[in-house]
Structure 1
Amino acid sequence: MSLLLILVFLAPTAAFAVNPDEVLPDPALETRARTISAELRCMVCQNQSIDDSNADLARDLRLLVRKRLVNGDTDRQVLDYIVSRYGEFVLLKPRLSDKTLLLWGAPAALLVFGGLALVVYARRRAGKATGTRLTAEEEARLNELLGK
Structure 2
Amino acid sequence: MSRIVLCLLALSLALPLAAQDSMPPAPFAYRQLDDPAQEAAAQDLMETLRCLKCQSQSIADSDAPMAGDMRHQVRIRIAAGEDPEAVRAWLVQRYGDYVSYRPEVSAVTWPLFAIPALLVLVAAVVLAGRLRRRAS
Shared fold (TM-score greater than 0.5)?
yes
Take 1:70 and 1:126, find their aligned partners in 2: how far apart are those partners?
65
Take 1:74 and 1:33, find their aligned partners in 2: how far apart are those partners?
10
Bigger Rg over Cα: 1
Which consecutive residues of structure 1, in runs of 5 or more, have no partner in the other structure? 1-18, 128-148
Q: 2:92 aligns with which of 79, 83, 92?
A: 83
Match of 2:82 in 1: 73
Give the alignment of 1:1-148 within 5 angstroms: 21-123=30-132
The higher relative CO (CA closer than 8 Å, separation ≥ 6) is in 2
Give the match's secondary structure for 1:22: coil
User: Root-mean-square deviation (CA), in Å?
Assistant: 1.9
Take 1:23 and 1:116, find their aligned partners in 2: how far apart are those partners?
52
What is the deviation of 1:103? Answer: 1.0
Identity %: 39
Of stretches 72-81 and 100-109 in structure 1, the one that deviates more from structure 2 is 100-109
CA 1:119–1:37 in 2, change beyond 3 Å: closer, same or farther?
Answer: same
Q: What per-residue deviation string (whole Å, max 9, x for no partner) do you get for residues 85-134 of structure 1?
A: 0111101122222222111122211000111122334445666xxxxxxx
Letter in 2 for 1:117: V
CA 1:79–1:114 in 2, change beyond 3 Å: closer, same or farther?
Answer: same
Letter in 2 for 1:25: D
TM-score with structure 2 setting the length: 0.71
TM-score with structure 1 setting the length: 0.66
Q: What per-residue deviation string (whole Å, max 9, x for no partner) do you get for residues 49-79 of structure 1?
A: 1000000110000000011112221111100
Letter in 1 for 2:64: A
